[in-house]
């Protein structure tokens, strides 16, 4: 069985994100970039499934600029077998990425795609779902536990107020939540081996996918600064403020 894991290169979670002065986007020049943490969990899960003898190959895929190669190398250092970069300088939106991944899935014919539930930059939480729809496969999002038995997956999902367990046939798309596992630290020998693992470069045209953006971003802005608090005289005043100032009631 093959497992495909899409990984996204995002601003490192430790970096304080700054909006560009002209509000056209977020400043990513000379900022530390890393693998999206949820994708790291997805890679870890795929590698564990392989180590348990339930998969033969883990393929990591990243779509975006050439430096996504570094992100793929970290995934290879964690234990993935080979990597594919779909290289483009175009700003990629979830649907375009889903289409690219679908094209890769048609080519590679994996039984399972494990992706992060969302990327920490745009928090879209869409790509995995779109990919499942494009492929006509089953899906389970926000997985906190995955069990594979022959061609059946059992997935525990974290939902509001509890856990939900789903059982469905493969092929399928599963998206990883925070508590699925704790990703390992890459070992030095594996970091060194990662350099020698195959990394294939494909361009979107070769996959027959039009990646032109369909959504237009009007403006980026920082969240409003939090003002000083005030003391209210009584409950009536609090209710009044919640109703008329905060407009939350």
Which residues form the interface with other proteins (CB under 8 A)? 14, 29-30, 32, 70, 73-74, 77, 185-189, 191-192, 194-195
- Cα–Cα dist 115/128, whole Å: 7
- Cα–Cα dist 21/23, whole Å: 6
Map residue 6 onto helix, strand or coil: strand
147 or 187: CB nearest other proteins: 187
31 or 152: CB nearest other proteins: 31
Q: How far is the CB of 106 from other proteins (least distance, A)?
A: 31
32 or 107: CB nearest other proteins: 32
DSSP conformation class of 225: P
Q: How far is the CB of 78 from other proteins (least distance, A)?
A: 10
Q: How far is the CB of 77 from other proteins (least distance, A)?
A: 7
Q: Which two tokens stand for residue 236?
A: 């009536």
16 or 231: CB nearest other proteins: 16
Q: How far is the CB of 65 from other proteins (least distance, A)?
A: 16
Contacts of 201 (CB under 8 A, 6+ apart): 84, 85, 87
Q: How far is the CB of 56 from other proteins (least distance, A)?
A: 25
- Cα–Cα dist 153/171, whole Å: 9
72 near 87, Cβ under 8 Å? Answer: no
Map residue 91 onto helix, strand or coil: coil
140 or 194: CB nearest other proteins: 194
- Cα–Cα dist 176/91, whole Å: 24
29 or 149: CB nearest other proteins: 29
Q: How far is the CB of 188 from other proteins (least distance, A)?
A: 4
79 near 51, Cβ under 8 Å? Answer: yes
């Amino acid at each position: 069985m093959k497992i495909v894991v899409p990984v996204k290169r995002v601003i490192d979670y430790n970096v304080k994100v700054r909006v560009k002065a002209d509000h056209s986007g977020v400043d990513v020049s000379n900022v530390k970039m890393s693998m999206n943490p949820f994708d790291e969990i997805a890679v870890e899960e795929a590698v564990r499934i392989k180590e348990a003898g339930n998969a033969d190959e883990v393929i990591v895929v990243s779509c975006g600029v050439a430096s996504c190669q570094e992100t793929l190398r970290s995934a290879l250092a964690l234990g993935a077998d080979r990597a594919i970069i779909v290289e483009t300088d175009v700003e990629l939106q979830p649907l375009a990425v889903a289409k690219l991944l679908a094209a890769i899935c048609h080519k590679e014919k994996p039984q399972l795609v494990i992706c992060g539930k969302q990327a920490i930059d745009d928090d879209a939480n869409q790509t995995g779902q779109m990919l499942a729809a494009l492929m006509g496969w089953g899906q389970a999002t926000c997985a906190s536990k995955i069990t594979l038995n022959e061609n059946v997956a059992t997935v525990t999902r974290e939902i509001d107020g509890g856990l939900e367990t789903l059982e469905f046939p493969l092929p399928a798309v599963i998206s990883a939540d925070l508590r699925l596992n704790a990703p390992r630290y890459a070992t030095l020998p594996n970091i060194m081996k990662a350099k020698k693992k195959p990394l294939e470069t494909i361009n979107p045209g070769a996959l027959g996918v039009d990646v032109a953006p369909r959504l237009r971003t009007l403006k980026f802005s920082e969240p409003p600064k939090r003002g000083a608090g005030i003391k209210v005289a009584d409950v009536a005043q609090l209710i009044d403020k919640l109703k008329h100032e905060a407009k939350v009631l």
